Amino acid sequence: MALATSTSSSIPSHSFLTRDSDGIASRLSAAAIRHAKPSSVPQSVSGGSRLRRIVARPCRAVEPAKRNDWAVETAVAAAEGLALDWEELDKELKNASPLEIMDSALRIFGNEIAIAFSGAEDVALIEYAKLTGRPYRVFSLDTGRLNRETYRFFDAVEKHYGIHIEYSFPDAGEVQALVRTKGLFSFYQDGHQECCSVRKVRPLRRMLRGVRAWITGQRKDQSPGTRSDTPVVQVDPVFEGVDGAGSLIKWNPVANVDGKDLWNFLRSMDVPVNSLHSQGYISIGCEPCTRPVLPGQHEREGRWWWEDANAKECGLHNRRLQTNDAANRLTVNGVNTRADIFEIAAVVSLTRPGIENLLRLRKRQEAWLVVLYAPWCRFCQAMEASYLELAGELAGTGIKVGKFRADGEQKPFAQKELQLGSFPTILFFPKNTSKPIKYPSERRDADSLVSFVKALT
């Protein structure tokens, strides 16, 4: 697969193994080590395999005189079938700078890793790659629905760095079938996942099958609901690389970087940026699914704003979340046994007849704030403290705070009648309006919820 390749360095990309000042092996090639063929692994005297794990340490400056030693030890490592422990490497790089992490990724994988560039602030990845002095490759997904400003930005980035980005496009037949069947804007009615699958996920899947690792611009603060536990490096839980399932390594060099700090870096390095950012756009995707955000709003509120907060992933990074949620469900004979949540006297537990009665009333004696939840949902669990705090603050104000368990057999009803997209969904039932109002924000702290209620009363 031909990807954009920098020409800023003459350092060979196969220099995978280095030593730090203590003489400890600090980097190994995943191509030569993790993916070594079983037949190349020598047997011990007892006949067992000698596969060992090397824990990589943060990159440090080294003396050029030691490069011959690295080459020798790289060959030895390949012959012995040494393997990196990616979980341990993630721990080692937890406090490393983005530049150190980028250098480690490019050093380990050389020509078999590529940077994913979306046309937003992840241009920082290209800048970090350039600063390492190592060769690097860049690719991007052209969905056919991007803003014109994004296309111009792509061109500016290519000229600034002297690279040619390799663009991946959706299958024309799949796009044609989707549009002819459901129209150009079906995602406003039935969600964005189908369109994203055709225009983004499948093209990315095809591209990643040609590499052994990729680098993304994911940050923990981008989406608290879906990215808060993003590691620095991991075995990709969604996509497969050139060696099949479980072989692709995913690097997130800016996982622990705050968005403000990232922008300070871009400004200080005079890096070109997408002009949409100056128009109020923070998170940038396809034109129909991206809009500016107001001051104080979270950046992901500008993406798929008509959907529930926890659905705001296009499918490129959300598999790990789905797997963890499934693992969090405890069932016995098909019945969920997870202990209930939001259990204080100030929060009224509504039954199905109770919530139906709220829906029927055109005028209510009191306004209600109700959370639709599932006790096994990690995001419901995460907002429990703030919701209980909210209940305390609203006590005596004439506004009731309630909860309705909407999983299991109640879920179809909640989806049809209560605007349930995913858990948790928060509804406000005004005194003089029959239709409930859905809380649109991802911010579920007590202050944000109080502001929402006060704005409607």
Active site residues: 377, 380
At 438, is the secondary structure helix, strand, or coil?
A: strand
Query: Cα–Cα distance between 418 and 436 in angstroms, integer?
Result: 8
What is the residue type of 313? E
At 285, is the secondary structure helix, strand, or coil?
A: coil
Asked if 208 and 240 touch (Cβ cutoff 8 Å), the reply is yes
Query: Cα–Cα distance between 316 and 297 in angstroms, integer?
Result: 23
Residues 257, 142, 126, 120, CA torsion sign: negative
Buried b / exposed e along 133-143 (16+ C-beta atoms within 10 A) = ebbbbbbbbbb
Ordered DSSP codes for 133-181 = TS--EEEEE--S-B-HHHHHHHHHHHHHHT--PEEE---HHHHHHHHHH
Ordered DSSP codes for 18-75 = -B-TT--B----TTTTTT--GGGSPB-TTS-B---EE---------GGGHHHHHHHHH
Place of tokens 């128009």: 279
The CA–CA distances, whole Å, from 297 to 223, 300, 441, 457 equal: 12, 8, 8, 21
Query: Cα–Cα distance between 90 and 116 in angstroms, integer?
Result: 20
Beta strands at 399-405 and 347-349: parallel, antiparallel or unpaired: parallel
Place of tokens 């680098």: 215
The CA–CA distances, whole Å, from 162 to 6, 119, 121, 159, 175 equal: 7, 16, 19, 5, 32
Query: Cα–Cα distance between 330 and 3 in angstroms, integer?
Result: 45
Query: Cα–Cα distance between 144 and 197 in angstroms, integer?
Result: 13
What are the tokens at 215?
Answer: 């680098």
Where are the strands (E) in 186-260, listed by range? 213-215, 233-235, 249-251
